Amino acid sequence: MFSVPAGWERSVSSQIPVKMDAISAVLLLAVFLLVALEVRVQRSKAYRAGKKYPGPRAFPVLGNAHNLLFNDQQRTFQLPRTWAKRYGDTYRILVRGLLNLNAIQAKDVEPLLSSPKLIDKGVIYTLLHNFLGIGLLNSTGPKWQHRRRILTPAFHFNILPSFLLTFQEESRRLIAQLGQFADKGTPVALQPVATKFTLNTICETAMGVKLDSMTMANEYRSRIEGIGTMLLQRLMNPWLFEEFTYKLSGLQAKFIKLLQPVHAFTRSIIQQRRELFHQNVRNLGDFSEENIYTNIKQRYAMLDTLLAAEAKEQIDEDGIREEVDTFMFEGHDTTSAAIIFTLLLIAHSPEVQQRLYEELQEVAAQRTDPDEEFTQRDYSELKYMDLVLKESLRLYPPVPFISRNISEDTWFGDRLVPKDTLFNVHIFDLHRDPAVFPEPERFDPDRFLPENVERRSPYAYVPFSAGPRNCIGQRFAILELKTVLAAILRHFRVLPVTTREEIVFVADLILRTRDPIMVRFEHRLEPDSS
């Protein structure tokens, strides 16, 4: 039989009160600290300012953290839509004592985006630093102003025709690919074909190389997709925001491993282009944009502008990589989304599609050779296409959300927004303000007729942001969209498969759907007579 040592019961019982006293003391201290933290939060300027705004119920200490955690991608996207409809005004959430304001109306978007001072990006953008560095997208202050000055000439009106040649070449390749689907009458998942098209175009226009000619093209594409997935994974899990917990999770090491070949690829292309650049301009003695564009033998690339700045010691090699990686990443996914949603909309609007086709035929008829490629001036004549693209970008803005950090106490109307507030603009909801866009879900390009536009605040529609930090490449993007849309519509009718009602959005760095968006393409002419 097992026997208990003499005195054991007395020994244990004498220790229990001591242990209980220690636990009670720890619990009491924890409660005291939590109460003190909550008192501090409630006395803060951020908390007092937040009381001026509607928002979901915030619990002591937790604030609204319970609303944000443990959501899947679908619910994470839907939650702001629910709050926008519920509150109908800029609303607040509190997380760890930090005030987050979320604007859905032009009255609060204008003072933010028009300000030359409120240009600091929100904390979310720090998640991109390992990938993109601190370039034009992520930087602020003098560095941002300096990079903006360097890069602005790369998107000058006179340089766009060089980019147009690339858009048209890739459009011809896309038409050949879509023709195979049209021959069979099979539906097409738009995301893979649109992404391949835009990644090819941005690679050639940004870096001056044809991605499909590179042996690592497919690996590069897959790595870029993988990087986007891992960035989203971190974005969806706020406890991974801190570098310590991200490293502890093991995900940081995987992310860095994924980045290494992408950065190596970018550096190798920069070096190749640098050698070519100096070979072409060695005898010029002048690295002005005009000389570069006029004299360079190969097609102009954004990288040439950066190399000219490097020659004048305005930027170093790491800075060049920052900007090339930024434009590669930003420039392909956003334009791909715009192509996908525009094709979806016109597939369901045959009358709009017919008007677009007739406009294309009218412009072509004015040319000596109707089959000759359009010029930049021809695309500028596509006025109805302008309306269609603007309405598409209203309904489905590729970047549905932007975020700024408020760098100084600022009044928005009669409400104070204190320093260090995170101020978010939900472009998706802003574009659906029923007071500005009646029946906001209806696809109606006429909303952007001049007489309708002049009645609206310019900050009610901001697919390319607005103010000092507006998108530097918006003319580039619109020309690319017009080029590919014109090519598709001159060869095919776009027929619906996926309905708009079937679309389920998921949270991502850009506007993305849970399921593929499908359409069908039908030849306008017999393949052998086109």
Instruction: Write out pLDDT tens, residues 439-495.
Output: 999 999 999 999 999 999 999 999 999 999 999 999 999 999 999 999 999 999 999
Better-predicted residue by pLDDT, 490 or 124: 490
Q: What is the pLDDT of residue 11?
A: 56
Cβ proximity of 362 and 382 under 8 Å: no
Angle, in degrees to the nearest 10, between helices 190-207 and 160-184: 160
Instruction: Write out pLDDT tens, residues 338-354.
Output: 999 999 999 999 999 99
Whose tokens are 């001049």? That residue is: 450
Known binding-site residue numbers:
471
The residues, ordered by sequence, that sit 6+ positions from 392 with a Cβ below 8 Å of its Cβ are 338, 341, 342, 345, 443
Among the residue ranges 57-71, 88-102, 392-406, 504-518, the one predicted with the least confidence is 57-71
Q: What is the pLDDT of residue 289?
A: 55
Tokens describing residue 375: 């010029």
Instruction: Write out pLDDT tens, residues 259-304.
Output: 988 888 888 888 888 888 887 766 555 555 555 555 554 567 889 8
d(CA 58, CA 96) in angstroms, rounded, equals 11
Dihedral, 54, 55, 56, 58 alpha carbons, nearest 10 = -100
* Identity of the highest mean pLDDT range in 1-5, 19-23, 421-425: 421-425
What is the C-alpha R_g of the chain? 27
Under the banding of pLDDT at 50, 70 and 90, the label for residue 425 is: very high
Under the banding of pLDDT at 50, 70 and 90, the label for residue 337 is: very high
The residues, ordered by sequence, that sit 6+ positions from 265 with a Cβ below 8 Å of its Cβ are 216, 220
Tokens describing residue 323: 């900007």
Tokens describing residue 149: 């000055």
Q: What is the pLDDT of residue 429?
A: 98
301 beta partners? none
d(CA 178, CA 492) in angstroms, rounded, equals 9
Better-predicted residue by pLDDT, 43 or 265: 265
Cβ proximity of 464 and 177 under 8 Å: no
Under the banding of pLDDT at 50, 70 and 90, the label for residue 183 is: very high
121 beta partners? 404
Cβ-based burial of 52 (10 A; exposed 0-12, middle 13-18, buried ≥19)? middle
d(CA 489, CA 493) in angstroms, rounded, equals 6
User: By C-alpha distance, which of 50, 52, 131 is closest to 97?
Assistant: 50
Report whether pLDDT(2) > 90.
no
Q: What is the pLDDT of residue 1?
A: 44
Under the banding of pLDDT at 50, 70 and 90, the label for residue 530 is: very low
Q: What is the pLDDT of residue 378?
A: 95
Report whether pLDDT(387) > 90.
yes
DSSP letters, 112-165, are HHT-SS--PBPGGGGGGHHHH-SSTTT--HHHHHHHHHHHGGGG-TTTHHHHHH
Cα angle: 213, vertex 218, 224; to 5 degrees? 115
Report whether pLDDT(3) > 90.
no
Angle, in degrees to the nearest 10, between helices 474-491 and 317-347: 40
Under the banding of pLDDT at 50, 70 and 90, the label for residue 29 is: low
d(CA 207, CA 303) in angstroms, rounded, equals 5
H/E segment holding residue 404: strand 401-405
Report whether pLDDT(217) > 60.
yes
d(CA 198, CA 151) in angstroms, rounded, equals 20
Among the residue ranges 18-27, 81-90, 355-364, 424-433, the one predicted with the least confidence is 18-27
Q: What is the pLDDT of residue 214?
A: 60
Report whether pLDDT(528) > 50.
no
d(CA 426, CA 443) in angstroms, rounded, equals 20
Q: What is the pLDDT of residue 298?
A: 54
Q: What is the pLDDT of residue 173?
A: 95
d(CA 209, CA 273) in angstroms, rounded, equals 9
Among the residue ranges 19-33, 62-76, 97-111, the one predicted with the least confidence is 19-33
Report whether pLDDT(511) > 90.
yes
Report whether pLDDT(379) > 70.
yes
Q: What is the pLDDT of residue 291?
A: 56
Averaged over 487-504, what is the pLDDT?
A: 97
Report whether pLDDT(97) > 90.
no
pTM for the structure as a whole: 0.88
Among the residue ranges 147-161, 253-267, 284-298, 355-369, the one predicted with the least confidence is 284-298
Report whether pLDDT(16) > 80.
no
DSSP class of residue 216? Answer: T
Cβ proximity of 327 and 314 under 8 Å: no
Under the banding of pLDDT at 50, 70 and 90, the label for residue 18 is: low
Known binding-site residue numbers for heme:
471
Query: Judging by DSSP bridges, how do beta strands 512-513 and 518-523 pair with one another?
Result: unpaired
Q: Count of CB atoms within 10 A of residue 404's CB?
A: 23
Report whether pLDDT(40) > 60.
no
Q: For residue 490, what are the CA distances in angstroms to 285, 341, 349, 358, 444?
A: 45, 18, 16, 9, 22
d(CA 78, CA 87) in angstroms, rounded, equals 15
Q: What is the pLDDT of residue 154?
A: 86
Report whether pLDDT(388) > 50.
yes
